[in-house]
């Protein structure tokens, strides 16, 4: 799904590799490429421009934390903007009234009948008693298709093959539902190959007569810009409540998913990703954005870093490193910050390409425990001035921390080397680099 768009966006972010911060100049190419990638994916030009302008403005306004790179920050901002573009929050289907009526509208072949079956199965799994109603009066095969699907998912189907009045059929179905204790009635309607007056009139008549709690517009996501135009035509006439995007399993370019919400201002509620009855998912804008970017894990990683990283503390440490005053207390504080970000193995696994490699390596958070215990067994004086730790102090620390003297020696040696490295880096200029080496 969206493979091409994901690849192009990934390439756009590569432009920022190696850059220390985001500037008007270095972000310009990336923004241009993001815009082009969106337009190539069939996102409406105006929408693509608005979104990329917002990404640029946000990127220039944000400080890049030492813990993340400008590329990662831009991915995060793009992810947030795409999420907002698709509506921000996920919106659930409205079930209201007795029975609750759900009207399914859309062009012929968009996947209405298939979706009706899926939705029936989805609601049945939630413990609701559902009735499917065949109101596609022009296509006898549609009635049979719905009957087959109903049987497959174990849901009752109401049909009157001889009746040519959709409103009458639907009204009779509602009566039937009331008698048989069905709490939800899904009404599958007739579609045409293109938007036409007669079809619109019929669906509008159904909507007026049935007063459904939900009118869902079903659209084939493979039709790109056309999907958006059709959505607009249906919405102008029907004022529907929600959108269902079908065939997201195919070679879709993603434009429909990204533009429909902005253009018709109605939430996408479901996506359909295959012909099987289980291929229905509630729509979550944030998850879809992460999938489009193909790097959902980096987004989580950046969020965790933003939550855990204390800029004031970073400045304080940076100052101490510059003055060659970094001690065991500072080391402990660094450990705390890393730990706040979560499980070490999970964190490393979030870096693209690392997930697979991580499976082979055995890192667990317990590896930090003896280090922490040793530092905590030191007196404050010892932490500030490790050189004073002689043999008897080492013995006491080892006993206190439940470790051994060789383990204490090893940590002291590593800490000594780290301080030496910081000193050398300071001589070369800038403690900031040393700090990011620690992160």
Q: Is 247 among the annotated ligand-binding positions? A: yes
Q: Is 412 among the annotated ligand-binding positions? A: no
Task: Work out whether 106 is an interface residue with ligand GDP (CB under 6 A).
Answer: yes
Strand 100-106 and strand 156-158: pairing?
unpaired
Task: Work out whether 252 is an interface residue with ligand GDP (CB under 6 A).
Answer: no
Q: Which of residues 180-199 bind ligand GDP (CB under 6 A)?
A: 191
- Name which position in 56, 76, 247, 262 contacts ligand GDP (CB under 6 A): 247
Task: Work out whether 113 is an interface residue with ligand GDP (CB under 6 A).
Answer: yes
| Spatial CA neighbour of 270 closest among 259, 281, 279, 260 | 281
Shortest spacing between CB 221 and ligand GDP, in angstroms: 9
Strand 130-135 and strand 184-189: pairing?
parallel
Q: Is 420 among the annotated ligand-binding positions? A: no
Q: Is 316 among the annotated ligand-binding positions? A: no
Task: Work out whether 275 is an interface residue with ligand GDP (CB under 6 A).
Answer: yes
Task: Work out whether 133 is an interface residue with ligand GDP (CB under 6 A).
Answer: no
- Name which position in 246, 401, 403, 407 contacts ligand GDP (CB under 6 A): 246
Cα(179)–Cα(364) distance, rounded to whole angstroms?
60
Long-range CB pairs of 221-224, under 8 A, 24+ apart, other chains included: 221/245, 221/246, 221/247, 221/248, 221/250, 221/252, 221/254, 221/256, 221/257, 221/271, 222/247, 222/250, 222/251, 222/252, 223/256, 224/42, 224/253, 224/255, 224/256
- Name which position in 56, 112, 253, 262 contacts ligand GDP (CB under 6 A): 112
Alpha carbons within 13 A on the beta-carbon side of 172? 14
Shortest spacing between CB 295 and ligand GDP, in angstroms: 25
Task: Work out whether 426 is an interface residue with ligand GDP (CB under 6 A).
Answer: no
Cβ atoms within 10 A of the Cβ of 270, count? 20
Cα(224)–Cα(255) distance, rounded to whole angstroms?
6
Q: Is 291 among the annotated ligand-binding positions? A: no
The conformational region for residue 196 under phi > 0 = left, psi -120 to 50 = alpha, else beta, is beta
The distance in angstroms from the start CA to the end CA of the chain is 35
Shortest spacing between CB 285 and ligand GDP, in angstroms: 19
Backbone Cα Rg of the chain:
30
Q: Is 189 among the annotated ligand-binding positions? A: yes
- Name which position in 19, 108, 300, 426 contacts ligand GDP (CB under 6 A): 108
Q: Is 248 among the annotated ligand-binding positions? A: yes
- Name which position in 66, 110, 223, 241 contacts ligand GDP (CB under 6 A): 110
Q: Are 47 and 263 in contact (CB under 8 A)?
A: yes
CA distances from 42 to 3, 193, 407 (A): 14, 21, 60
User: Which CB atom, from 87 or from 106, has the smaller least distance to ligand GDP?
Assistant: 106
Q: Is 249 among the annotated ligand-binding positions? A: yes
Task: Work out whether 281 is an interface residue with ligand GDP (CB under 6 A).
Answer: no
Shortest spacing between CB 134 and ligand GDP, in angstroms: 10
User: Which amino acids are annotated as binding site, given as ranges?
Assistant: 106-113, 188-192, 246-249
User: Which amino acids are annotated as binding site for GTP, given as ranges?
Assistant: 106-113, 188-192, 246-249
Binding-site ranges for ligand GDP (CB under 6 A):
106, 108-114, 191, 246-247, 249-250, 272-275, 279
């Amino acid at each position: 799904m969206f493979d091409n768009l994901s690849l192009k966006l990934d390439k756009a972010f590569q432009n920022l590799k190696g850059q220390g911060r985001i500037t008007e100049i270095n972000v310009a190419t990336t923004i241009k490429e993001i815009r082009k990638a969106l337009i190539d994916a069939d996102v409406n030009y105006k929408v693509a421009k608005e979104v990329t302008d917002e990404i640029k403005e946000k990127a220039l306004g944000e400080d890049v934390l030492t813990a993340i790179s400008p590329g990662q920050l831009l991915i995060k901002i793009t992810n947030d903007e795409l999420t907002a573009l698709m509506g921000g929050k996920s919106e659930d289907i409205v079930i209201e009234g007795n029975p609750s009526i759900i009207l399914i509208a859309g062009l012929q072949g968009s996947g209405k009948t298939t979706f009706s079956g899926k939705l029936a199965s989805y609601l049945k799994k939630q413990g609701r008693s559902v009735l499917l109603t065949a109101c596609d009066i022009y296509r006898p095969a549609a009635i049979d298709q719905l009957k087959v699907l109903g049987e497959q998912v174990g849901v009752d189907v109401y049909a009157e093959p001889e009746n040519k009045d959709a409103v009458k059929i639907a009204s009779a179905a509602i009566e039937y539902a009331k008698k048989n204790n069905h709490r939800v009635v899904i009404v599958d309607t007739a579609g045409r190959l293109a938007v036409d007056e007669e079809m619109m009139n019929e669906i509008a008549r159904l909507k007026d007569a049935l007063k459904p709690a939900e009118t869902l517009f079903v659209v084939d996501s493979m039709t790109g810009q056309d999907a958006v135009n059709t959505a607009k035509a249906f919405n102008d006439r029907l004022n529907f409540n929600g959108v269902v995007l079908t065939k997201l399993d195919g070679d879709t370019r993603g434009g429909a998913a990204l533009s429909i919400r902005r253009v018709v201002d109605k939430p996408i509620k479901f996506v359909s990703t295959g012909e099987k009855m289980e291929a229905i998912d509630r729509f979550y804008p944030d998850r879809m954005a992460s999938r489009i970017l193909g790097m959902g894990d980096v987004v989580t990683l950046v969020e965790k870093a933003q939550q855990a990283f204390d800029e004031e503390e970073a400045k304080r440490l940076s100052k101490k490193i510059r003055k060659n005053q970094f001690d065991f207390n500072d080391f402990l504080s660094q450990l705390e910050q890393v730990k706040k970000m979560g499980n070490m193995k999970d964190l490393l696994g979030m870096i693209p390409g690392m997930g697979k490699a991580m499976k082979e390596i055995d890192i667990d958070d317990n590896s930090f425990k003896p280090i922490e215990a040793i530092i905590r067994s030191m007196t404050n004086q010892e932490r500030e001035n490790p050189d004073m730790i002689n043999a008897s102090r080492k013995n006491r620390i080892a006993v206190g921390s439940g470790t051994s003297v060789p383990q204490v020696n090893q940590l002291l040696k590593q800490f000594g080397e780290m301080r030496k490295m910081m000193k050398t880096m300071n001589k070369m200029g800038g403690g900031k680099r040393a700090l990011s080496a620690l992160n």
